[in-house]
Amino acid sequence: MTHLHLLAVPSALFRPHSIARHLFDQIAQPPPVPTRKTLLRLFIAVSSLPHLKPSAPPWTEVLLLCTLHRTGGGSTSGTTEAFELAAKFCYGVNFEITTTNVAQLRCVSEYLEMTDQYAVESLASRLETFIDGVVCKSLEMSVEVLHQCENLLPLSEDLKIVGRCIDAIVSKACAEQIASSFSRLEYSSSGRLHMSKQAKNSGDWWIEDLSILRVDFYQRVIEAMKCRGVRPESIGASLVHFAEKYFKKEPNIWNILIDPKVEPVSNSFACEGRLVIESIVSLLPAEKHAVQIGFLFGLLRSAMMFDCTMSCRLTLERRVGSQLEMATLDDLLIPSFQHAGDTLFDVDTVHRILSSLVKVANLVDNYLAEIAPDANLKLANFIAIVDTLPGFARATDDGLYRAVDIYLKAHQELSDSERRRLCKVIDFQKLSLDASGHAAQNERLPLQATVQVLYMEQLRLRNALGFSTFDADTKTSHPSRRTAHGSPTSPRDAYASLRRENRELKVELGRMRARLSDLERGRAGVRDGDLDKPSSAKAVISMSRKIGRKLHLFGSSKSSQGLESGVIAGKT
């Protein structure tokens, strides 16, 4: 058996004409000293070299020692096993193509030019058939091959293996989502189709598979899923799982929550962790409740610990502020990661989150007041802007009431139901004394809103006059809607009666305000017992009965329930 030692053989050698010419040129020359450690024995059948001498044995083996130059350009970084499989293909030896070797083999076949350009039924064509016909038909296989491509860049990218795997993963995830949605459809007792709440995320089994990917490939997959319309809840769950699995690689990282002054992570892991945190933050769905607020606070702590960019931390602070009503006390206890600081917890971050809410609320209210006079502004759009902020973001609803009043004045064609819907955005318990007094005399407000304002005014007056409890009659159930003869009243008669009582309440409220002013001017006399508490108490109880009857006639809405709870809260 004849052996020929060749070193640093260029890729062009594997063309038949080049092989023959190169062999005869190098027969008498001693092999040069290798300069790389990566040496590969590649056996090529002489039968595939028709330009060799006819007297040569048909299965003479040629030993090629190839030095693989690992440069960043067009060279391959395939392993020795992939080259050995390529040699087996030359000999006609059967071997199995799997998801663990198909990407490396495809890159090797391209590097060695084992393509259809030089041979029929080439290795490259067979690998392409396997990728398109087997790998891209399965989400799990596509994820595995994509994971193998992480160390084969840029050749795997140039061969479009990465792009095809990402497209296959996204397509299969969307198909699973649609299939799971149909499987949750069921008929109710009334015969209507509705979505079952059971097995809500049954089509999200791919979440765990994606966690093996490198962060840059994972980011590309999630971005493609967002473009294709995958559920935000599924994307959020995938982000949570990916973050948890990644940070479990470094168990000591959680020691910093106990002692923030230590540095348990290495510099390399810190750089990688910073990249992971910033990538996850950029992938967060825009929907408000796609991820839980506890996860957002965890990201915020990690971003501070890894010293992420300021834009990343500010984004997390804004997201936390929009869901702050779901936070717990433990969420707000963010450790201080400043080594020179004296405080145990980061108070500045929490203060910045809370302060931004108040500033944004005032800005939104002023914006609403500016756009409210627009005659073409639809009610749904106006309410949608109001709902962008949580209710707790406003310390007072005076600015919101002003914007609503301007809108009502500019849109007098609104129906009574539309005006009631608009006024539901106002929390009348958070109106100041001046705003509440203006609302009590505002004819543009619907009757239900006026009753709520009067009710709150009555509570304020009761507390100002110093009464600790209501009469027992105010705690009884609301009277039924019947006339003196015992027959039910019609809605029209009830509405007319309420309008009449509303006017009477306004007059009575004015008298009580005057009474309160007199009492404030003569406070000394009040302390001496000059205040006629029984008569004042009767007036307050009378108003409470009338307003309670009005609230009952309007039904048990959330606002009326809040006002009833406000009576108990107002006791001294």
Measuring CA to CA, which residue among 88, 22, 91, 26 is closest to residue 58?
91
Would you call 488 helix, strand, or coil by DSSP? Answer: strand
Q: What is the pLDDT of residue 33?
A: 43
Measuring CA to CA, which residue among 462, 458, 416 is closest to residue 437?
458
Chain position carrying tokens 């473009």? 227
Q: What is the pLDDT of residue 493?
A: 61
Q: What is the pLDDT of residue 315?
A: 93
Read off φ and ψ for residue 512, nearest 5 degrees.
-70, -35
Would you call 95 helix, strand, or coil by DSSP? Answer: coil
486: DSSP letter: S
Strand partners, 42: 64
Beta strands 61-67 and 39-45: pairing type? antiparallel
C-alpha 76 chain-centroid distance:
39
Q: Cβ neighbours of residue 410 under 8 Å, at least 6 residues apart?
A: 372, 373, 374, 375
Chain position carrying tokens 């929907």? 287
Can the peptide bond before residue 390 be classed as cis, meaning omega within 30 degrees of 0?
A: no
pTM of this structure? 0.59
Tell me the pLDDT of the chain (572 aa) as tens digits.
333 332 333 333 344 434 434 433 443 344 444 433 333 433 343 334 443 333 333 333 333 333 333 323 334 444 578 888 888 888 788 889 999 999 999 988 888 888 888 777 888 999 999 999 999 999 999 999 999 999 888 999 999 999 999 999 999 999 888 877 655 555 555 555 455 554 445 557 888 899 999 999 999 999 999 999 899 999 999 999 999 888 887 655 555 444 444 454 557 777 888 999 999 999 999 888 889 999 999 999 989 888 899 999 999 998 998 888 888 888 888 888 765 556 788 888 888 888 877 788 888 899 999 999 998 999 999 999 988 887 777 888 899 999 999 999 999 999 989 999 999 999 888 888 888 888 888 888 888 888 888 888 777 777 766 554 444 344 444 444 444 444 445 555 665 666 666 666 666 666 666 666 666 666 545 444 444 444 444 454 455 555 555 544 444 444 444 433 333 333 33
Domain ranges of the chain: 11-160, 165-184+200-354, 446-477+489-519+532-572
CA distance 430 to 391: 10
User: What long-range pairs does 6-11 form, CB within 8 A, spacing at least 24?
Assistant: 6/31, 6/64, 6/65, 6/66, 7/31, 7/32, 7/34, 7/65, 7/66, 7/67, 8/32, 8/34, 8/35, 8/66, 8/67, 8/69, 9/64, 9/66, 11/111, 11/112, 11/113
CA dihedral sign, ordered 240, 245, 248, 250? negative
484: DSSP letter: T
